[in-house]
Amino acid sequence: MIRAATVHDIPEIRAMIRELADYERAVEQARATEEQLREALFGERPAAYVLIAEDDGSGETAGFALWFPRFSTWTGTRGMHLEDLYVRPHARGAGHGRALLAALAAICTRSGYERFEWWVLAWNRPTIEFYTSLGVEFLDEWTVCRLSGGPLDELAATAPAVGERAPGSGRG
């Protein structure tokens, strides 16, 4: 069964985020607290949304998908960015990952989203093979960029005043 997460799922979502980070060899980077997740997912202005996969037989949480809307200047439409898709090791192979992706694809279709995009680690062969079986297109010509920590702060310190209604500008 696939369902929308509720605030009661936050401890389980956080646990799965840490499990995923451990699998991706970066558990020390998974610092989100339950309070941060509560605000981000269920606060006044949610930043992201979560679907939960439950095992039909046991009702146990088998996995989750965390996503948020994005916008394409080229198509002039919204799309979906899948931040995390995780199925617990003991539940893999039972169709939970495919069911989560199908539910997200249905949200895209209903919402008029033209693109459904996410990243996958280059070394994660089992997941890449799974995505290939679904007909996923891999965009090898793009490189992911990240600015964080000191370099982010340094660049931000050089910013001119923002006069428009931009997120974080203090207006709007």
Q: Decide if 86 is catalytic.
A: no
- Which residue out of 49, 86, 113, 131 is catalytically annotated? 131
- Residue 44 — φ and ψ, nearest 5°? -60, -35
Cβ contact 79:112 at 8 Å: no
Would you name the residues annotated as active-site residues? 131
